[in-house]
């Protein structure tokens, strides 16, 4: 059995760091906004290279709080990718906005920034590029558009903690360039907790204060409320786990990149398999290793029969979801997204994957194609 993701294998390697951290929280009995939450915010803001970080209950809430802070009015539009996890567009709707979908680049699966300008209207308030599968979008193009039109830029960096892009000779981290960056600590992300969690990064100290308030019912001081927020705190227990894991993140991301290289070599000669493309100037963190193949569903069953895990991220484009029917999109309208939905397959790429296991995966894919 080679699962898509093996969190038990990771647990064996981190037990000795994480369990004492949990015991410490248990002994303190400070489960809400204990010291580890503040320490994690400090550590993540340093790691990302952001002025501030505000921990919250999930990646979905990191997006929702960022968008809520914009004060969207009915009819306000937010441009994003239709090829992403549902939360990206769901958060736009729940913050009071209307999602506007722009097609993706076929090679990186990220939003095609050359098509954004045509989608901007007087009602466009923000752009939410998604750094999909662990590779940053062409954010410099989005920054130019946001500056020119006075729009906010919310980076959906849920899959991209540690990913970097070379801009004007400088390596910039995902989450350090937008109005805010939204991260998820869902267990399957590159830095995962033992439950839900998320964090927002920003370079804007005033916005950070505002987000910290929105996270705790809109009040900086207990029982005094300047505005209406919500309860979206990160548990102290999750913060303690994440703090114990953070020092290993770069090594884990390196291991994912090594696996990607081995796949790229091993799968190079198969005509019907396209391995992931890394844009020049990007350092990928491979939250997913996603190939394309025209016989995707057959290959997936073939691997499944041999005990090899794989997954389809994502099988149905967001512009064609029943809940967005009212937006009026039609099949064929965003062709690269729709083609990706029928061709993508994500393979095991977790850090603990062994060389032997990876050989088994490669051999199975070769066998299928002979
Ligand atoms: C995981 C994910 C989210 C949501 O994060 P949760 O912590 O699960 O709420 C948002 N966007 C993308 C692209 C994701 O992969």
Tell me the C-alpha distance between 189 and 283, whole Å.
17
Taking each helix axis from N to C terminus, what angle separates 296-305 and 355-368, rounded to the nearest 10 degrees?
130
Mean pLDDT of 22-46: 98
Residues of the chain with CATH 3.90.1150.10: 248-368
pLDDT of residue 254 exceeding 90:
yes
Both structure tokens of 187: 């267990």
**What residue owns the CA closest to ligand 1's atom 2?**
158
Establish whether residue 287 lines the binding site of ligand 1, counting it when its CB lies within 6 angstroms of any ligand atom. Answer: no
The CATH 3.40.640.10 portion of the chain extends over: 7-102+111-247
> Of 317, 306, 321, 308, which is closest to residue 343 (Cα–Cα)?
317
> Which two tokens mark 89?
């567009």
- Mutation to probe ligand 1, out of 83, 87, 95 (largest number of atoms < 8 A from CB): 87
For the chain, give the percent of residues with pLDDT over 70.
100
Average pLDDT estimate for 74-83? 98
Please state, rounded to an integer, the average pLDDT across all residues of the chain. Answer: 97
Between the CA of 223 and the centroid of ligand 1 the distance, in Å, is 31
Residues 6+ apart with CB under 8 A from 358: 259, 262, 263, 266, 348
How much is the pTM? 0.98
Domain covering 248-368, topology = 3.90.1150
Mean pLDDT value across residues 273-292: 97
Task: Answer yes or no: is the C-beta of 136 below 6 A from any ligand 1 atom.
Answer: no
In this predicted structure, the answer to whether residue 183 has a pLDDT above a threshold of 80 is yes
Whose tokens are 């083609």? That residue is 339
- For ligand 1, whether the C-beta of 87 sits within 6 Å is yes
Query: Alpha carbon of 102 to those of 84, 107, 108: distances in Å?
Result: 12, 15, 14
Q: Which residue has the tokens 């977790």?
A: 350
Whether ligand 1 lies within 6 angstroms of the CB of 159 is answered as yes
Closest atom of ligand 1 to 131 CA is: 13
CB distance 181 to ligand 1 below 6 Å? no
For the segment 17-21, the average pLDDT, to the nearest whole number, is 98
Please give the average per-residue pLDDT across 231-259, as a whole number.
Answer: 98
Q: Which three-class secondary structure string do you get for the chain?
A: CECCCCHHHHHHHHHHHHHHHHHHHHHHCCCECCHHHHHHHHHHHHHHCCCEEEEECCHHHHHHHHHHCCCCCCCCEEEECCCCCCHHHHHHHHCCCEEEECCECCCCCCECHHHCHHHCCCCEEEEECECHHHCCCCHHHHHHHHHHHCCEEEEECCCCCCCEEEECCEEEECCCCCCEEEEECCCCCCCCCCCCCEEEEECCHHHHHHHHHHHECCCCCCCCCCCCCCECCCEHHHHHHHHHHHHHHHHHHHHHHHHHHHHHHHCCCCCCCECCCCCCCEECCCCCEEEECCCHHHHHHHHHHCCECCECCCCCCHHHCHHHHHHCCCCCCCHHHHHHHHHEEEECCCCCCCHHHHHHHHHHHHHHCC
Q: Is the CB of 60 within 6 Å of ligand 1? A: yes
Is the pLDDT at 332 greater than 90? The verdict is yes
Q: Nearest residue CA, atom 10 of ligand 1?
A: 87
What CATH number labels 7-102+111-247?
3.40.640.10
Tell me how far the alpha carbon of residue 31 lies from the centroid of ligand 1, in angstroms: 24
Q: How far is the CA of 270 from the centre of ligand 1 (A)?
A: 32
Q: Quick one: which atom of ligand 1 is closest to the CA of 91?
A: 10
Q: Is 339 exposed, middle or buried (0-12, 13-18, 19+ CB in 10 A)?
A: middle
Greater pLDDT, 226 or 334: 334
Closest atom, ligand 1, to C-alpha of 196: 7
For ligand 1, say whether the CB of 238 is within 6 Å of any of its atoms.
no
Per-residue pLDDT, 85? 98
């Amino acid at each position: 059995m080679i699962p898509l993701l093996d969190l038990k294998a990771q647990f064996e390697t981190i037990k000795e760091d994480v369990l004492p951290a949990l015991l410490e929280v248990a002994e303190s009995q400070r489960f809400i906004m204990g010291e580890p939450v503040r320490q994690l915010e400090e550590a993540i803001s340093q790691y990302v290279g952001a002025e501030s970080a505000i921990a919250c209950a999930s990646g979905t809430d990191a997006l929702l709080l960022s968008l809520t802070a914009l004060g969207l009015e009915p009819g306000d539009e937010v441009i994003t990718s239709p090829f992403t996890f549902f939360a990206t567009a769901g958060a736009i709707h729940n913050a009071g906005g209307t999602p506007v979908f722009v097609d993706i680049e076929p090679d990186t699966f990220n939003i095609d920034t050359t098509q954004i300008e045509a989608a901007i209207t007087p009602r466009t308030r923000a752009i939410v590029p998604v750094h999909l599968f662990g590779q940053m979008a062409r954010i410099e193009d989005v920054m130019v558009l946001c500056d020119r039109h006075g729009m906010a830029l919310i980076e959906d960096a849920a899959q991209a903690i540690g990913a970097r892009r070379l801009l004007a000779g400088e390596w910039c981290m995902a989450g350090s360039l937008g109005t805010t960056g939204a991260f998820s600590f869902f267990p399957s992300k590159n830095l995962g907790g033992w439950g839900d969690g998320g964090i927002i990064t920003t370079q804007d100290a005033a916005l950070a204060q505002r987000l910290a308030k929105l996270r705790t019912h809109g009040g900086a001081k207990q029982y005094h409320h300047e505005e209406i927020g919500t309860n979206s705190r990160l548990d102290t227990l999750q913060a303690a786990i994440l703090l114990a894991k953070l020092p290993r993140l770069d090594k884990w991301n390196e291991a994912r990149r090594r696996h990607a290289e081995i796949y790229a070599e091993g799968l190079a000669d198969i005509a019907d398999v396209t391995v992931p493309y890394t844009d020049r100037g990007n350092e990928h963190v491979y939250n997913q290793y996603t190939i394309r193949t025209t016989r995707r569903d057959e290959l997936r069953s073939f691997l499944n029969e041999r005990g090899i895990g794989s997954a389809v991220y994502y099988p149905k484009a967001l512009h064609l979801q029943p809940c967005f029917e009212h937006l009026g999109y039609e099949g064929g309208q965003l062709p690269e997204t729709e083609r990706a939905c029928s061709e993508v397959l994500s393979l095991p790429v977790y850090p603990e994957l062994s060389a032997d296991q990876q050989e088994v995966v490669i051999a199975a894919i070769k066998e299928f194609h002979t």
